Chains A and B, each alone.
Chain A
Amino acid sequence: MNELMNTFTERKDDLLTAIFEHLAISLSALLIAVVIAIPLAILLSQRKKLAEIVLQITSILQTIPSLALLGLLIPFVGIGTVPALIALVVYALLPIFQNTYIGLSEIDPSIEEAADAFGMSRMRKLMRVELPMAMPVIISGVRTALVLIIGTATLAALIGAGGLGTFILLGIDRNDPSLTLIGAISSALLAIIFSTLIRFLQNRSGKVTLITLAVIFLSIGGIFFAQNNPIGTETVTIAGKLGSEPDILINMYKEVIKDEDSSINVELKPNFGKTSFLFSAVKNDQIDIYPEFTGTVLESLVKVPKSTPEDLSPEKTYQEANKLLDSQFDMRLLKPMDYENTYALAMKKSEAEKRGITKISQLQAQQDQLKAGFTLEFIDRQDGYRGIQDKYGVKLGSVQSMEPALRYQAINTGEVDVIDAYSTDSEIKQYELMTLEDDQHLFPPYQGAPLMKKEFAEEHPKVVKALNRLAGKITEEQMIEMNYQVNVKKEQPAKVAHDFLVKEKIIGEEN
């Protein structure tokens, strides 16, 4: 409980921003759904057959799992707010359309006859008679939709649209239940508050309801767009993958850029998503820069020609990655930092000593007794478990897929014996683990560097110059220590980044 309060106090500002984003995206989705579904239902209220078809379609849309829908939208509209909005609108259509249609078609035919017999026009009949009568049913549909949207909007964080889901994801990633709880509770509270507000408005006159809703929509919408479109000033958007390390790095990027030219506006989007999201976000100009690893570029992002030799040195890996990015995507990696964050297999020190294992090749002898907890990504990668099977001939007794943060829990409690890790993870220190030697050189060198479009680099020489201050800096020990500060000591990434830059004299003290 105490921890919850502490986290809450520390994150108050972030929480406010997240709530705001959450509301903005939820209410925009609701508004769009209302604007589509209600007129459609009005049009179709006279055409029964067509209405039934539309009802069927909206019901089917409703059954698509929200995560799948988000994934399906990415190839068409990229990531960020747009696909999240589309997905939420799709979910909200059914309850609103259905209730409007039912509300209108259940009006007593004699009332319709009276309206006609008094010479009301179609429009007047709709506005004065039909809609007011159907209003309670319509409003309850809108309420259902809103509660649905506010809940589902937590998934928006997965594709970089922000909102309270970032708290939940971050909580899972950092293994910090307080963050997850704060995100979940806030989202539930929002749903309850807005549902109650609508119920309250339902008993007021139609005018009061409409005016109140309009004010809420306009004010939130207005502030949201005002915040997101600072007119006249150019904004450099920097995003990072999930986790403490990218979060620390992008804070460093921001500081060095600001130190170079304080007039450049820098926007950070921490915990933006997984590798493929970030890469397509750069491709679609949704973000400008994110920290990427040279090895990841070669393994997952570019097509590597057959002629490329397999065992490249770190320097050669960087050059090759940069060359292929240039020719295939018109992008470039700036000069990398010092440390390498490669994949590694880790075991508990005590367990490894007991079994006499120090190298990956030694796993084979005891492979049937060993249980592994790997990330989904690691299991599927050629430089991950697939490579371990091919190159080392190691097939472990059981392999479970796990969220990155959970696998440390699992190895700590003894549920699994082997996990994949990154060489700079703070948990290696925290849980007294040791990494196994990659004696057949399966894992390529992974060096971190800012990834951006070539065009962007050419247009922003000051940004490039600033980011290059980090080239060759930060050792593996320093990175582990900074990760430890954030993950275990619960320091803010921005503070850790700032302190490091000042200590290393990369930026001036007064910043």
Chain B
Amino acid sequence: MEPIIEFKDVSKEFEGNVVLKDLNISVKKGEIFVLVGPSGSGKTTSLKMINGLVEPTDGNLYFKNKRIKDYNIQKLRWQIGYVLQQIALFPTMSVKENIEVIPEMLGWGKEQRNKRVDELLQEVDMDPEQFRDRMPSELSGGQQQRIGIIRALASEPDIVLMDEPFSALDPISRASLQDLVLELHQKLGNTIIFVTHNMKEAMKIGSRIAVMHEGKLIQCDTPEEIQKNPANQFVEEFFDETTDEVYTQTLETLYNGGFYQSAETADAALPSLSMDTSLSEVFDLLIKHDAFIIVRDSKKIGLIDRSDVFRFLSQEG
């Protein structure tokens, strides 16, 4: 597959500090390419070079085999979607106006824009009638980032950049938005470049993963290969560090911490889970169900709903 983005010997210095050193990366068309690493590894700097928010000190970036600096930067940016960690919806614009920011600059007609807005809202399970004219402040964090994602997709861009898009969200919204990104990618087949500091997230989302550390690329491969053959101790440890998060804990932690209610009056139709269920599965389940029942030795020993999980998470944090 031909490369859509290429970094060739790219370096970047900020006030004498080297933040990127001789980076060589090639992103293939249609893949989800994840840049993962701890803070200060240079992953966000690399991402922002693609849409020209940061310029390299040395080396060149290529978009479709043409140097980025040879493009009209404004027009290039219309072809590159961008999703920010801070979400950054324009607070004085309605949901609809936010989504059509780029289509408007591209000169789409009113009807075409309206149709596109409704289509995208439906794509992320938000009723257009209900949400179209709301203001960002009237939405939850998860809903806001859904709008953030479809705003980036509105003009059907060739590539979409996502800069730690879910790290400010609660684990439940995060899990569901990760699924959403995978689903949309399946459907649209565009190229996504995704930055995260969370290896678990990288493993779940990435077609290929680039592990970065202190401005250098350490390893670039498929998730399976990286897990099987970590290039060095850093990669190995990075796995352990980021997998040691709430995601990998089990229901037992919640139960032992007292974050549950009595199961006596519980609705029999609710799903049941065993004590060794991982919390990431728990979060996934809570997207669709309000609550579930904990079962040990085929006895119902408690009921957990979303508020219990939030209480637990807020204490963890």
Contacts and interface: CB of A to CB of B under 8 A. Distances in A.
Contacts of B205: none
Contacts of A117: 51, 53, 77, 80, 82, 84, 161
A133 B88 CA distance: 13
Interface in A113-147: 113-121, 124, 128-129, 132-133, 135
B78 A119 contact: yes
Contacts of B85: 110
A133 B91 contact: yes
Interface in A271-326: none
Contacts, number: 55
Interface in B18-57: 51, 53
Nearest to B87: A110
A113 B105 contact: no
Given A113-B53, A113-B88, A121 B82 contact: no
Contacts of B74: 119-121
A129 B90 contact: yes
A118 B86 CA distance: 15
Contacts of B17: none
Contact of A124 (B77, B91, B105, B161): B105
Interface centre among B78, B82, B161 (most CB of A within 10 A): B82
A110 B76 contact: no
Interface in B57-99: 73-78, 80, 82, 84-86, 88, 90-93
Contact of A114 (B78, B80, B84, B92): B84
B181 interface: no
Contact of B86 (A110, A115, A129): A110
Contacts of A210: none
B88 A110 contact: yes
A108 interface: yes
A114 B75 CA distance: 15
B217 interface: no
A111 interface: yes
A24 to B, nearest CB: 33
B285 interface: no
A126 to B, nearest CB: 13
A116 B53 CA distance: 8
Given A113-B53, A113-B84, A114-B82, A119 B76 contact: yes
Contacts of A110: 84-86, 88
Contacts of B80: 117
Nearest to A114: B88
B105 A120 contact: yes
Contacts of B78: 118-119
Interface in B91-145: 91-93, 101-102, 105
B84 A119 contact: no
B77 A111 contact: no
Contacts of A133: 90-92
Among A108, A110, A114, chain B packs the most CB atoms within 10 A around the CB of A114
A205 B84 CA distance: 28
Contacts of B53: 113, 116-117
Contacts of B77: 116-119
Which bracket fits the contact residues of A?
10 to 19
B15 to A, nearest CB: 18
Nearest to B79: A119
A138 to B, nearest CB: 13
B148 to A, nearest CB: 9
B82 A118 contact: yes
Contacts of B91: 111, 133
A113 B44 CA distance: 13
Contact of B102 (A118, A121, A132, A135): A118
A129 B82 CA distance: 17
Contacts of B102: 118-119
A121 B105 CA distance: 10
Contacts of B92: 129, 132-133, 135
A124 B102 CA distance: 12
A133 B91 CA distance: 7
A128 B73 CA distance: 20
Contacts of A121: 74
A257 B94 CA distance: 66
Interface string A95-120: 00000000000001011011111111
Contacts of B73: 119
A132 B53 CA distance: 23
A319 B73 CA distance: 82
Nearest to A116: B53
A503 to B, nearest CB: 71
Contacts of B82: 114, 117-118
A108 B90 contact: no
A85 to B, nearest CB: 34
B105 A119 contact: yes
A135 B86 CA distance: 22
A129 B86 CA distance: 16
Contacts of A128: 90, 93
Nearest to B155: A118
Instruction: Pick from B73, B91, B102 the residue with the most CB of A within 10 Å.
Output: B91
Interface in A165-189: none
Nearest to B101: A118
Given A111-B88, A113-B88, A128-B90, 14 more contacts: A108-B86, A110-B84, A115-B90, A116-B53, A117-B80, A117-B84, A118-B78, A118-B82, A118-B101, A119-B73, A119-B74, A119-B102, A129-B92, A132-B93
12 contacts: A110-B84, A110-B86, A111-B88, A111-B91, A113-B88, A114-B84, A117-B77, A119-B76, A121-B74, A129-B90, A133-B90, A133-B92
Interface of B: 51, 53, 73-78, 80, 82, 84-86, 88, 90-93, 101-102, 105, 161
- Nearest first, the 9 A-B pairs at minimum CB distance are A119-B77, A110-B86, A132-B92, A114-B88, A117-B82, A110-B88, A119-B74, A119-B78, A111-B88
